[in-house]
Amino acid sequence: MSSILTNNGAMVALQTLKSINSNLSDTQNQIATGKEIGSAKDNSAIWSISKVMEADVAGFAAVSKSLAVGEATLGVASAGAESIVETLKEMEALAVAGGSETADFTKIQADMVQKAAQITDTIEAAQFNGVNLLSSAGDPLTIVSSVNRVGTAAATTDTISVANLDFEANIDVAGMTAIASSADAATAFGEIQAFLATALTGASTIGAAASRVDNQATFVNKLSDSLEAGIGALVDADMEAASARLQALQTQQQLGVQALSIANQAPQTILSLFR
């Protein structure tokens, strides 16, 4: 039955064209943005997962900066500790030289005073952004090292802590025995040995912490890259597939327009019945 009031063919063609246009719009949006899932309406579950992962990536970016600052701080402290070790070795050699009764104790003591002052200066200067692990006034160093997330629980952070070594108090070169005789030199030698052991232990502690921070920084960078790759796998559009789909939809759109035009012309054939 033909009707001039109801055109079923046109309605079907119109619905088909609307569907094609909707798919075409989605495909064009994917090509423009590069994302298959750009908002919650595209796929709420995957979109939510991707946003949580993006938050973690941002967190790891901050962690990387924290580790970089921590690594620099430990690098300064390590350089200071190693310099103090070398200076103490020189002082040890002076004390050994003072073990002879024929030694020039005045010159040896003058050199000792200068090297003690050098150690004091090194301790005071071994700071990065106000953090000094060798000074009595310094605080322990806390470095944010990771962002952890398990299941649906809230994310937490881990830290790496490095205690203040307080070389200023534990290596009291200013208060060591002055060398005026071979006996004084022997006493000073023992004191220097104790200072050297403290400096070596401190330098090793800083070195181990620096190695840990460096390894953690490498791991965090790799983990961040993996998360970004995972986010891309979830939400990024397959550009090759999108390009092929775009061309197919454009062809379907043209055919849909033509089909709708044909359907709209169908009622006009009824006029021939009245001629």
Residues 94, 190 within the same domain:
yes
Helix (H) or strand (E) segment spanning residue 37: none
pLDDT in tens, the chain (275 residues): 667 777 788 888 899 999 999 899 888 988 888 888 888 888 899 999 999 999 999 999 999 999 999 999 999 999 999 999 999 999 999 999 998 888 899 999 999 999 999 999 999 999 999 999 999 888 899 999 999 988 878 889 999 999 999 999 999 998 999 999 999 999 999 999 999 999 999 999 999 999 999 999 999 999 999 999 999 999 988 899 989 999 999 999 999 899 888 888 877 777 777 76
Q: Give me 53's structure tokens.
A: 């992962």
> What domain range includes position 144?
55-236
Q: How far apart (Å, rounded) are the C-alpha atoms in residues 154 and 147? A: 10
Q: How many domains does the chain have?
A: 2
Q: What pTM value is reported for the model?
A: 0.78
Residue 156 buriedness (CB in 10 A; 0-12 / 13-18 / 19+):
exposed
| Amino acid at position 61, single letter | A
Residue 38 lies in a domain: no
Q: How far apart (Å, rounded) are the C-alpha atoms in residues 68 and 214? A: 8
Residues 166, 231 within the same domain:
yes
Residue 177 lies in a domain: yes
Q: Which residue from 192, 173, 184 is spatially nearest to 100, judged by alpha carbons?
A: 184
Residues 119, 210 within the same domain:
yes
Q: Which residue from 56, 100, 74 is spatially nearest to 211, judged by alpha carbons?
A: 74
